[in-house]
Amino acid sequence: MKNFGIKEALAELGLKKSNPGVSTGSKWYRSTGGLIDSYSPADGKLIGSVHGGDEKTFDKVVKQSEEAFQVWRTWPAPKRGEVVRQVGVALRKYKEPLGKLVSYEMGKSLQEGLGEVQEMIDICDFAVGLSRQLHGLTMHSERPNHRMYEQWHPIGTVGIISAFNFPVAVWSWNSMLAWVCGDVCVWKPSEKTPLCSIACQLITARVFEKNGVPEGVSCLVNGDATIGQLMAQDERIPLVSATGSTRMGKAVARTVSERLGRALLELGGNNAIIITEHANLDMAIRGALFGAVGTAGQRCTTTRRLIIHDSIFDEVKDRLKNAYAHLNIGNPLDTGNHVGPLIDKTAVKLYQDALRKVKQAGGEFVVKGGVLQGKGYESECYVKPAVAVVENEYEIVQHETFAPILYLIRYNSLAEAIQKQNGVKQGLSSSIMTTNMQEMERFLSAAGSDCGIANVNIGTSGAEIGGAFGGEKETGGGRESGSDAWKAYMRRQTNTINFGDNLPLAQGIKFDI
Ligand code: UN1
């Protein structure tokens, strides 16, 4: 079988067969936590192993991060930005091997793997600019000779829990912003993609070392869910940013709020595209296709539902069927393939369960799913993207299945379409395909989509880093990446300064002796 240059990529990134999985920057710790074996879903082969952390090493790492914070917060923000700029330069240099590793360890197509590294580069650039724009407001005081303003200060150690589906980009959204803000980071990556985290840590550590960044600004603790739990309950970690399932997010939120810490949550989605009778159908089909099968349906922004106007329902159905017939499914490193494998066999089982439930509920398959077998599919993680006509109310449709299953739902009025689109517990991303201005504006109005992301004439996935990323309801309410998401990584301080010779009280209160 073709190697696709994986061996070379691993060597270039400095990855070994066995790797320590805990680090405070340039220092690496071989701890007594469990060994994590990373198998590629592309070919089922063992890529390498990572030594996970335990409670003791976690404690040591957090202590080191606290020490680092004492120094890092005193660096001028633009100087911190300069370091992040250099991380962006290093990522440009390693874009190809890192993109390949993402593709091989996670299973997304090479194009998407490279895109993910590009997303990291983009957020670095964004963070560099931000490092000179951490603006507060000034206010007019009601008292004479007084001045009021607000400023933003770093908050300390930020815990980052990331998911397998974006094994590098989501960490970078958090860490690059946190760093320019003056925070320090402890990262707990997914157990399914530990090697990606090691590669990122190695790239960052070299840049940090060259710039004399204190040990502990960038920390990594590989491990299982117990590391995430330790993070959630640790009072030394004022902010925990968690990406993953709603179930995980609820557990994190409960624990963090118990100690009045802050949680930034980016959880499940159940994203829909409304295709109206005024849609450009060529665009609608293309948008739906990439949205549904990109990353093999494992993005939190994946298009899971198409809500289609009755008058064009059959046409959309037929055109989708035709488009699905042209999909190449196979090794994600082979650029001729559109769809790679699911992350592991558990995911395959969940996919099969979902298909069964669709059938039981009365769904009608337009494109049948199934697990692929034979040459090229030895990992047993490859599945066929499926399409089914369903009702929005089916239990299984209400649920986020992390797999390429697309549900088709019929509507008659736009109000009904919006009501169906909002009629799920999740609230991440949404789109409308229309060339009609009224439909577009209604969809975007306060009575329209209830999601954190609402697009027009593009799919639900593939957001740019410049906007705030996240969603409402069970998606968790957090916003990461662009816009003013940086504010979550800082504490706001209101300052009132008296430059007069008297001490007048606010609200006109008299207190004379
Ligand atoms: C995720 O699936 O957790 O908008 C993140 C997108 C990507 C990020 C997805 N830029 O699809």
**Binding-site residues, ligand 1, Cβ < 6 A:** 119, 165-166, 170, 243, 299-301, 461-463
Single out the residue of 311, 317, 276 nearest to residue 443, CA to CA.
276
- H or E segment and range at residue 39: strand 35-39
CA dist., res. 251 & res. 267, Å (int)? 12
* Token pair of 254 as six digits: 């409960």
DSSP letter, residue 392: T
In order of 105, 124, 197, 274, the CA distances from 5 in angstroms are: 14, 27, 20, 41
In order of 125, 150, 204, 263, the CA distances from 158 in angstroms are: 21, 22, 17, 10
pLDDT of res. 1: 53
CATH top-level class of 271-467: alpha beta
Sign of the torsion angle spanned by Cα atoms 197, 198, 203, 206: positive
pLDDT of res. 463: 96
Nearest ligand 1 atom to the CA of 464 is: 10
Nearest ligand 1 atom to the CA of 469 is: 4
Between the CA of 275 and the centroid of ligand 1 the distance, in Å, is 22
CA dist., res. 382 & res. 369, Å (int)? 11
CATH numeric code, 23-267+476-493: 3.40.605.10
Pocket probe mutation, ligand 1, options 120, 241, 299, 343, max atoms within 8 Å of Cβ: 299
Nearest ligand 1 atom to the CA of 302 is: 11
pLDDT of res. 288: 98
Between the CA of 498 and the centroid of ligand 1 the distance, in Å, is 47
Rg of the chain, C-alpha, whole Å: 24
Domain residue spans of the chain: 23-267+476-493, 271-467
CA dist., res. 18 & res. 47, Å (int)? 9
- Residue 462 zone, left/alpha/beta (φ > 0; ψ -120 to 50; rest): left
Nearest ligand 1 atom to the CA of 266 is: 3
Between the CA of 119 and the centroid of ligand 1 the distance, in Å, is 10
pLDDT tens-digit profile, the chain (513 residues): 567 999 999 999 999 999 999 999 999 998 778 999 999 999 999 999 999 999 999 999 999 999 999 999 999 999 999 999 999 999 999 999 999 999 999 999 999 999 999 999 999 999 999 999 999 999 999 999 999 999 999 999 999 999 999 999 999 999 999 999 999 999 999 999 999 999 999 999 999 999 999 999 999 999 999 999 999 999 999 999 999 999 999 999 999 999 999 999 999 999 999 999 999 999 999 999 999 999 999 999 999 999 999 999 999 999 999 999 999 999 999 999 999 999 999 999 999 999 999 999 999 999 999 999 999 999 999 999 999 999 999 999 999 999 999 999 999 999 999 999 999 999 999 999 999 999 999 999 999 999 999 999 999 999 999 999 999 999 999 999 999 999 999 999 999 999 999 999 999 999 988
Between the CA of 313 and the centroid of ligand 1 the distance, in Å, is 28
Q: Is 266 a catalytic residue?
A: yes
Residue from 266, 400, 474, 480 carrying the catalytic annotation: 266
Which residue minimizes the CA distance to atom 7 of ligand 1?
Answer: 462
- H or E segment and range at residue 65: helix 55-72
CA dist., res. 453 & res. 126, Å (int)? 20
Q: What is the DSSP string of 309-365?
A: EGGGHHHHHHHHHHHHHT--BS-TTSTT-SB---SSHHHHHHHHHHHHHHHHHT-EE
With beta carbons less than 8 A apart as the criterion, state whether 432 and 439 touch: yes
Nearest ligand 1 atom to the CA of 465 is: 10
Between the CA of 127 and the centroid of ligand 1 the distance, in Å, is 18
Between the CA of 455 and the centroid of ligand 1 the distance, in Å, is 14
